[in-house]
């Protein structure tokens, strides 16, 4: 018997367990998946939790429920990957592997910014990239009386790069609905040149910030938080005051990657962009947020990667060359508030485009354009996530590589 | 995409002036782009620019943090060389794409 070991039972790891169990012979391959946590979170839901759109129970389930029969599930902490010896140390045992899949994800590292975890943390400074952070922020917003709200990105790359912008849009709607928008000043603070950094998007979407009266502070690389003055400060001593700071701290790969000597300076694992094989060892593959590939860190990306990676693992086992197939495809809904959403579809080289999705001419979803239908799509996605995506069931008509049918590539400013 | 003549060479550039093809870059082009921004290049600038180009050629993502940890310069120093947006200006001068997000 050979051993295939998956580290991490999040979105990517769970999908790989489901894909591979049905494809690898039960008598030839043991499959084991390890994760230290019992709960599987629907992470896109963390965006909605602060605004009381979702409840706690809608975003969490017991992770084991999604692991197929015939896969050995171990709920233990991973201590170290011994990549030269094909072994993984857990808290109280060591596992051997013939083939390893790293799916340990990424998480926030607020300790990387001086003053972030200080007297104001979870009082006036919140994250919404963790379940606990998102819930604490919900409780804060429920009786916040208004003031200066900053939605702030520390540095790239981050998981779901559009989530901060969606948060700002949803905050605008939330405070309007509560009849207190005039008491809240919303400012979006980014280390990049603006909210929209791709020409197609800045052309098509710049109106959103104006329409929602969201102010912008760009090119801001935070150096520390001044807890006494309630200001964030950058390396040139530029200061932005806040009453409520919603920050996306530095995102990093798991510390086990660092301990194992397998990561870059943010603990992401150097990975071939197209095959998803690690650069370190031939029998180690990497998927989802744990990789350093320049695709978005998002569930849809993990979903498309899982299809390519499944094929490549089967090819690898049989001794064939790997497919250089993964193209960085991402497909994401972007909530814009007022029950509307945008949909974007792009890859490593192609910027988000206009058009219909998934069917040319028909849609029904519209790319890069606000619609109610897109918003319903985003809400329906929670059901799709729990019932199809994690189980490795292909989403009908949505291919792993980006399709160019029904898409418009010559974006010009639209008349409103 | 637009065409722009920089240091006597006609180059394809993005709408905000970043080179389309990093292989067309040379030091004279760098100096002229830097001049437009208001930066006079020193050997230290070129050390940073060459580092950015090497990382980009190796398809590695660039962040202010990673440049600050490169051993060539720290983050404060990077701001001194390229004030008001070190990564966006250094990338432009280095002839590599603008740092972007997914939209």
Which one of A193, A236, A273 has the shortest CB-CB distance to B59? Answer: A273
Which one of B15, B63, B87 has the shortest CB-CB distance to A199? Answer: B15
If phi over 0 gives left and psi between -120 and 50 gives alpha, with beta otherwise, what is residue A160?
left
Taking the CA of residue B61 and the nearest CA in chain A, the distance in Å comes to 7
Which one of A221, A296, A352 has the shortest CB-CB distance to B64? Answer: A221
Spell out a b/e string for A310-323, using b for 16 or more CB atoms within 10 Å of the CB, else e.
bbbbeebbeeeebe
Q: Find the mean pLDDT for residues B71-95.
A: 92
Which one of A198, A266, A273 has the shortest CB-CB distance to B103? Answer: A198
Chain A residues whose C-beta is within 8 A of a chain B C-beta are 155-157, 161-162, 165, 191-193, 196-199, 201, 205, 219, 221, 223, 235-236, 250, 264-266, 273, 292, 294, 296, 330, 332, 334, 344, 346, 352
Per-residue pLDDT of chain A (416 residues; tens, 9 = 90+): 999 999 999 999 999 999 999 999 999 999 999 999 999 999 999 999 999 999 999 999 999 999 999 999 999 999 999 999 999 999 999 999 999 999 999 999 999 999 999 999 999 999 999 999 999 999 999 999 999 999 999 999 999 999 999 999 999 999 999 999 999 999 999 999 888 888 778 777 889 999 999 999 999 999 999 999 999 999 999 999 999 999 999 999 999 999 999 999 899 999 999 999 999 999 999 999 999 999 999 999 999 999 999 999 999 999 999 999 999 999 888 999 999 998 888 888 888 878 888 888 777 888 888 889 889 888 888 998 999 889 988 777 788 888 877 776 655 544 43
Q: Which of A218, A235, A332, A342 to mutate to test the interface with B (most CBs of B within 10 A)?
A: A235
Output the CA torsion A209→A214→A217→A220 (10° steps).
Answer: -90
Taking the CA of residue A68 and the nearest CA in chain B, the distance in Å comes to 33
More confident residue, B9 or A309: A309
Secondary element (H or E) of residue A373: helix A372-384
Please give the CATH topology (third level) of the domain spanning A2-45+59-107+252-317.
FAD/NAD(P)-binding domain (3.50.50)
Taking the CA of residue B9 and the nearest CA in chain A, the distance in Å comes to 24
Helix (H, G, I), strand (E, B) or coil at A222: strand
Quote the CA–CA distance of A364 and A272 in Å, as a whole number: 35
* DSSP secondary structure of A157-182: --BSTTHHHHHHHHHHHHHHHTT-GG
- CATH 3.50.50.60 range(s) for chain A read 2-45+59-107+252-317, 110-251
Taking the CA of residue B79 and the nearest CA in chain A, the distance in Å comes to 7
Quote the CA–CA distance of A15 and A388 in Å, as a whole number: 10
Evaluate if residue B102 carries a pLDDT over 80.
no
What pLDDT is recorded for position A410?
A: 56
Taking the CA of residue A2 and the nearest CA in chain B, the distance in Å comes to 34
The answer to whether the CB atoms of B88 and A193 lie below 8 A apart is yes
Q: Where are the beta strands (DSSP E) in A208-339?
A: 214-217, 222-226, 231-234, 239-241, 244-248, 251-253, 284-286, 330-337
The answer to whether the CB atoms of B101 and A156 lie below 8 A apart is yes
Q: Which of A188, A193, A202, A330 to mutate to test the interface with B (most CBs of B within 10 A)?
A: A193
Which residues of chain B lie closer than 8 angstroms to A251, CB-CB?
Answer: none
- Residues of B tagged active-site: 102
The answer to whether the CB atoms of B88 and A219 lie below 8 A apart is yes
The answer to whether the CB atoms of A250 and B65 lie below 8 A apart is yes
Which chain A residue's Cα is nearest to B99? A192
DSSP class of residue A277? B
Taking the CA of residue A23 and the nearest CA in chain B, the distance in Å comes to 33
Quote the CA–CA distance of B84 and B41 in Å, as a whole number: 16
As a CATH number, domain A110-251 is 3.50.50.60
The answer to whether the CB atoms of A266 and B14 lie below 8 A apart is no
What pLDDT is recorded for position A411?
A: 53
Closest CA to A171 of A154, A148, A193, A202: A148
CB A372 within 8 A of CB A340: yes
Which one of A197, A292, A330 has the shortest CB-CB distance to B98? Answer: A197
Quote the CA–CA distance of B54 and B36 in Å, as a whole number: 24
Query: Could you give the maximum distance between any two Cα atoms of chain A, in Å?
Result: 66
How many CB pairs below 8 Å do chains A and B form together? 78
Query: Cα angle vertex A158, ends B56, A137, to 5°?
Result: 165
Q: Which of A196, A218, A222, A236 to mutate to test the interface with B (most CBs of B within 10 A)?
A: A236
The answer to whether the CB atoms of B103 and A201 lie below 8 A apart is yes
Structure ipTM: 0.85
> In this structure, what token pair is assigned to residue A272?
């071939």
């Amino acid at each position: 018997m050979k051993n295939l070991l998956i580290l991490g039972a999040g979105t990517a790891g769970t999908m790989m367990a489901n894909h591979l169990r049905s494809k690898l012979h039960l008598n030839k391959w043991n499959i084991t998946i390890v994760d230290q946590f019992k709960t599987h979170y629907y992470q896109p839901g963390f965006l909605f939790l602060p605004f009381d759109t979702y409840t706690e129970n809608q975003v969490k389930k017991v992770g084991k429920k999604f692991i197929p029969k015939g896969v050995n599930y171990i709920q233990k902490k991973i201590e170290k990957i011994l990549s030269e010896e094909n072994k993984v140390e857990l808290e109280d045992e060591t596992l051997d592997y013939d083939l390893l899949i790293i799916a340990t994800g990424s998480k926030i590292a607020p300790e990387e910014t001086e003053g972030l975890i200080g007297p104001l943390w979870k009082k006036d400074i919140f994250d919404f990239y963790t379940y606990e952070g998102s819930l604490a922020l919900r409780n804060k917003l429920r009786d916040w009386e208004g003031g200066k709200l900053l939605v702030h990105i520390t540095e790239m790359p981050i998981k779901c790069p559009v989530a901060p912008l969606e948060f700002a849009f949803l905050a605008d709607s939330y405070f309007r609905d509560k009849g207190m928008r005039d008491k809240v000043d919303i400012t979006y603070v980014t280390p990049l040149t603006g909210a929209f950094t791709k020409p197609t998007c800045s052309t098509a979407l710049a109106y959103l910030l104006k329409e929602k009266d969201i102010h912008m502070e760009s090119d801001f690389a935070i150096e520390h938080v001044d807890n006494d003055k309630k200001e964030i400060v950058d390396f040139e001593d530029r200061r932005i005051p806040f009453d409520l700071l919603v920050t996306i701290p530095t995102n990093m790969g798991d510390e086990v990657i660092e301990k194992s000597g397998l990561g870059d300076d943010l603990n992401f694992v150097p990975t071939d962009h197209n095959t998803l094989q690690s650069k370190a060892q031939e029998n180690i593959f990497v998927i989802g947020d744990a990789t350093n590939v320049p695709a978005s860190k998002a569930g849809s990306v993990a979903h498309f990667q899982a299809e390519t990676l499944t094929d490549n693992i089967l090819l690898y086992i049989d001794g064939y060359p790997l497919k250089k197939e993964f193209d960085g495809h991402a497909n994401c809904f972007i909530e814009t508030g007022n029950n509307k959403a945008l949909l974007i579809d792009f890859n490593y080289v192609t910027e988000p485009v206009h058009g219909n999705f998934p069917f040319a001419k028909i849609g029904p979803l519209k790319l890069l354009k606000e619609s109610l239908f897109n918003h319903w799509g985003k809400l329906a996605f929670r059901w799709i996530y729990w019932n199809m995506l994690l189980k490795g069931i292909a989403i009908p008509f949505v291919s792993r590589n980006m399709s160019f049918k029904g898409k418009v590539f010559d974006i010009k400013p639209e008349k409103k | 995409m637009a065409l722009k003549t920089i240091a006597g060479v006609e180059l394809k550039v993005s709408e905000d002036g970043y080179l389309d093809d990093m292989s067309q870059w040379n030091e004279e082009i760098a100096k002229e782009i830097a001049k437009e921004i208001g930066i006079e290049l020193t050997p230290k600038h070129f050390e940073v620019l060459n580092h950015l180009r090497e990382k980009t050629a190796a398809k590695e993502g660039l962040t202010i943090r990673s440049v600050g940890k490169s051993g060539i310069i720290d983050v404060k120093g990077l701001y001194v060389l390229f004030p008001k947006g070190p990564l966006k200006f250094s990338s432009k001068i280095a002839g590599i794409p603008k740092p972007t997000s997914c939209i």
